[in-house]
Amino acid sequence: GLEIIKSQIIAAIMLIQLAAVSLHSRVHPCVFISAGGICIAQSLKIPHEHKPSDFDKIIRQLLDTRYARTVVLFASDEDIRGILNASKRADQVGHFLWIGSDSWGSKNSPIHQLEDAAVGAITILPKRATISGFDAYFMSRTLENNRRNVWFAEYWEENFNCKLMSSSKKDDSSRKCTGQERIGVDSKYEQEGKVQFVIDAVYAMAHALHNMQRDLCPDVSGICLEMELAGGKKLLKYIRSVSFNGSAGTSVTFNRNGDAPGRYDLFQYQRSNGTGSGYRAVGQWTETLQLNVSLILVLVLTGSWF
């Protein structure tokens, strides 16, 4: 899914950005043509242990193929910052059009204080829903009623910045927890973004085990010998063939490769105009690309094309 979505986004951007380029007759050296028919001019690796000069080198290499303006980044927050910062050092803000993977998403951490270099970037994020039942459950957890989370006490101390009697915390200076603190009341609480997928994954496993049990042990209510001996391969077959409505109401299935259907929101980082964050939802991808072109800021990229 991700590959298709990327090539389609790039294709869409190319249509906007490269209309002028197609008028030129110069042949571009392609490293390879992707499935979407996109010419990939280069593919670079960010070194594991890197210095600012490594990012400077990457920018220099990207500039070697000056007509290739679109850069797809599969990188961590820190590496995205390194690249954006290096593009500033090289005085190349506005030269590149960035496409960010879901690790960039709509986060501020990769672009903080580098916003000017990020303007125009297109990013993707898996569609996610907030599961209200989870909030109701989690916010009602206390030291008394938590029965199964072995890390809960540690979370409590961390979350409320206090110390429990049973604490293994070395620091003597922190204040004592009262035990009356409440999640979401005495601390900020926001649902972690992947809760939906964790719930669905657990249900996928449960549905698979249930279907397997029905097939292999039709006459017993528990696990029979045949199921015990069935093995992981057989279980995997059952997992891959589940189909049910997930926690957010969307269907949960797996394709031939074992991937769930791709469902993404697309964002563009636009120059902030004072009304909050600069990421703007500009489209989505669910089986097909739906791009709201009227919301996309068309960059006038700086410099000459050749």
- What residues make contact with ligand NAG under the rule CB under 6 A? 52, 81, 85, 113-114, 244-245, 270, 273, 275, 280, 292, 294-295
Query: Residue 23 CB, nearest distance to ligand NAG (Å)?
Result: 29
Q: How far is the CB of 294 from ligand NAG (least distance, A)?
A: 5
DSSP bridge pairs for 280: 268
CA distance 215 to 104: 44
Cβ–Cβ under 8 Å, residues 119 and 88? no
Q: Which is nearer to ligand NAG, 137 or 244 (CB)?
A: 244
Contacting residues for 281 by C-beta, under 8 A, at least 6 apart: 265, 266, 267, 295
Nearer to ligand NAG, 22 or 275 (CB): 275
Pick 41 or 247: Cβ nearer ligand NAG? 247
What minimum distance in Å lies between the beta carbon of 62 and ligand NAG?
A: 17
Residue number, 83 or 177, with CB nearest to ligand NAG: 83
Residue 117 CA to residue 266 CA, distance in Å, equals 19
Query: DSSP letter string over 165-228?
Result: TT-----SSSPBP-S---TTTTS-----TTHHHHHHHHHHHHHHHHHHHHHH-TT-SS--HHHH
Least CB distance to ligand NAG at residue 245 (A)? 4
Residue 108 CB, nearest approach to ligand NAG (Å):
12
β-partners of residue 285 are 264, 289
Residue 303 CA: distances (Å) to CA of 10, 33, 82, 306: 20, 26, 22, 9
Phi, psi of 252, deg, nearest 5: -110, 115
Provide the minimum distance between the beta carbon of 173 and ligand NAG in the complex, in angstroms, as a whole number. Answer: 31
For ligand NAG, the closer CB: 65 or 94: 94
CB nearer to ligand NAG: give 141 or 280: 280
